[in-house]
DNA sequence: TTTTAAAGTTAGTCAAGGCTAAATTGATTT
DNA sequence: AAATCAATTTAGCCTTGACTAACTTTAAAA
């Protein structure tokens, strides 16, 4: 109290939170394109019902989200048919899958239980900057 | 394609995402109680205007959020006066501040630039389980 | 003490991301 | 070919968390 804090920490906290809000706005998109890619790889196609089952949400929710992804150019879809990634979607999916794997591997490498790592990585991945990701990467291979 | 994936990963992905959605539902609350605590420590009281400035949102947004925090028992407030943490709020604030610090210190300890660590920690903190936090902690002091 | 400025509140709007319930479509059986 | 079942879509609702604009209250200056 009394005087101004004048300590070292960034006085511009607002930047930090603006970036955080940005990351949040991308999370669902990132998880969806990654999952759609997984489904195409594993099962040959991505159906709404499989997305709903894997995310643990209703079919209606998946439908809304897919419409948003389509609007934003990440997927294409036709009524009652399966879902495809656009180029843009595939690019994002690959980036997210790689990042996810690095985060997961890093957590396991420092001694986190694989089961716990799977939970934590799903959230952490969206908040890891390129720089931190590279640090994680080199920590794994050392 | 072809056969079932039968690999090791949890088939019950839905659990992972349910936990992720839970974490998201708590993020704003956690950042607010932590920041309110910081303001009380640094400036003697927590005013709306300071929260708005630090989070980079409008006064109206702060007002809404404070009402929700009050409804949920984390803070008390009277019109045109400053904001106080309840016992419940203080407990959460302390937990969040400690966790935030551990995450930040851990990132710096593995070689992430302090500036970047500040950005990343603000998001990562909300997705780190108790177990992972303990691993971070012992990694710092070693 | 009046005026003005800053802080806080209220009202109304919006998008994201959830839900349920009901309708529709497509695929599989009979 | 018809009936049935599963998948998908639509409609309508809700909360969170953001905004702007207008208003009210408190605090500071004149
Ligand atoms: Mn992921
Ligand atoms: Mn994720
Ligand atoms: Mn924090
Ligand atoms: Mn945070």
* Nearest Cβ partner for A131 among B44, B112, B128: B112
The answer to whether B42 contacts chain A (CB < 8 Å) is yes
State how far the Cα of B117 lies from the Cα of B105, in Å rounded to an integer: 8
Domain range list for chain A: 14-140
Decide: A73 and A84 in contact? Cβ < 8 Å. Answer: no
Please report the residues numbered 92 through 111 in chain A whose beta carbons come closer than 8 angstroms to any beta carbon of chain B: 107, 110-111
Q: Which long-range contacts (CB under 8 A, 24 or more apart) does B17-20 make?
A: B17/A31, B17/A54, B17/A55, B17/A56, B17/A57, B17/A122, B18/A56, B19/A119, B19/A122, B20/A119, B20/A122, B20/A123, B20/B127
Backbone φ and ψ of B24, nearest 5°: -65, -35
Ligand 3 geometric centre to CA of A42 (Å): 38
pTM for this prediction: 0.93
A110, A113, B27, B60 from B87: Cα distances, Å: 35, 33, 19, 26
Query: Which protein residue lies nearest to nucleotide C25, measured between its Cα and the C1' atom?
Result: A80
CATH 1.10.3720.10 fits B14-140, yes or no: no
* Nearest Cβ partner for B16 among A16, A118, A131: A118
State how far the Cα of A117 lies from the Cα of B9, in Å rounded to an integer: 12
Question: What residues pack around ion ligand 2 (CB closer than 5 A)?
Answer: A 31, 122
Chain C: nucleotides below 7 Å from protein CB are: 6-12, 16-22, 25-26
- Tell the residue number behind the tokens 């291979």, with chain if given: A141
Q: Which nucleotide is nearest to A55 (CA to C1')?
A: C18
State how far the Cα of B125 lies from the Cα of B105, in Å rounded to an integer: 11
Is it the case that residue B134 has pLDDT exceeding 90? Answer: yes
Strand partners of residue B84? B76
pLDDT tens track, chain A, 142 positions: 433 333 456 668 999 999 999 999 999 999 999 999 999 999 999 999 999 999 999 999 999 999 999 999 999 999 999 999 999 999 999 999 999 999 999 999 999 999 999 999 999 999 999 999 999 999 998 7
Task: Give distance CA B16 / C1' D30 (Å).
Answer: 63
Ligand 4 geometric centre to CA of B53 (Å): 16
Ligand 1 geometric centre to CA of A132 (Å): 16
Q: What confidence tens digit (pLDDT) does each residue in A40-66 have? A: 999 999 999 999 999 999 999 999 999
């Amino acid at each position: 109290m009394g005087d101004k804090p004048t300590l070292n920490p960034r006085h511009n906290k607002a930047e930090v939170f603006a970036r955080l809000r940005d990351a949040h706005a991308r999370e669902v998109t990132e998880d969806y394109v990654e999952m759609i890619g997984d489904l195409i790889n594993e099962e040959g196609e991505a159906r709404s019902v499989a997305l709903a089952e894997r995310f643990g949400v209703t079919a209606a929710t998946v439908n809304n989200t897919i419409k948003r992804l389509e609007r934003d150019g990440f997927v294409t879809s036709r009524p009652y048919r399966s879902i495809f990634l656009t180029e843009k979607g595939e690019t994002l999916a690959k980036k997210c899958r790689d990042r996810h794997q690095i985060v997961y591997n890093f957590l396991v490498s420092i001694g986190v239980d694989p089961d716990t790592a799977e939970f934590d990585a799903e959230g952490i991945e969206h908040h890891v900057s390129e720089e931190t990701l590279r640090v994680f990467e080199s920590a794994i291979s050392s």
